[in-house]
Amino acid sequence: MFDFSDQVALVTGSSRGIGREIAIMLAQAGAKVMVHYGRNRVKAEQVLAALGGEPHRMVQADMGDADAVRAMVDETVEQFGRLDILINNAGIYESHPIAEVSYAQWQASWQRVMEVNLLGAANASYCAAQQMMQQKSGRIINISSRGAFRGEPEGPAYGASKAALNAMGGSLAKYLAPYNIYVATVAPGFVETEMAAESLAGESGQQIRAQSPLNRVARPEEVAYAALFLASAGAEFTTGTIIDVNGASYLRQ
């Protein structure tokens, strides 16, 4: 269905979860994929093996380190000669309810979450756009969250980071359009991943699944499908859009 032959894709946070599925589906559609990981090299190697090894590669970078992010993009271009698709998927969630944490804990959570979820994506977008503007083509797809719209009471930094990611995507879509660079966003609700495993266990999991009339949460491949659609040829006029993948658990007007 999708054809990404001869295209190069960098997928941040692709050692597990949604990023892993995006990397696999891109490779199956013909793309050369750079698998990014932060700390878990073993899982990244497993993803690389699942892609078939050559012509794919993997790279390590702390998304909260601006220099490391630049090196990650530079390594991708050096290895493959170009960069056609950036998937800003890497993200972290920290619980920090305002009534339950100290001021120092509050500040630390905001700093860590913003550094990875927002500034990491912003820096990756900047670096990727430099290459894409030279090519006069490219796609930047951000993985946001339902939490950007409905709020995240116990993790407000997460919700704020994703709301800001949405706004950044719209701004870049406007600016980069003359360069034939298209920017769009996928906003999932709960997804069956390691990141959500604890929340989805037990009684809380039943309540979460009941939020959707489908009585379940998304599978990683369903989010990946939306990302690949936005990155595909023919989806250019969706630039600036946000696609919700939350099973009608939260409806925006």
Q: Out of 37, 93, 126, 158, which one is annotated catalytic?
A: 158
Cβ pair 7, 76 in contact under 8 A: no
Cβ pair 132, 179 in contact under 8 A: yes
Q: Strands across the sheet with 242-245, in order?
A: 57-60, 32-37, 8-11, 85-88, 138-143, 181-188, 242-245
Structure tokens at 136: 């006069």
Phi, psi of 99 (to 5 degrees): -85, -5
User: Is 158 an active-site residue?
Assistant: yes
Cβ pair 122, 183 in contact under 8 A: no
End-to-end CA distance of the chain, in Å?
31
Q: Which residues form the catalytic set?
A: 158
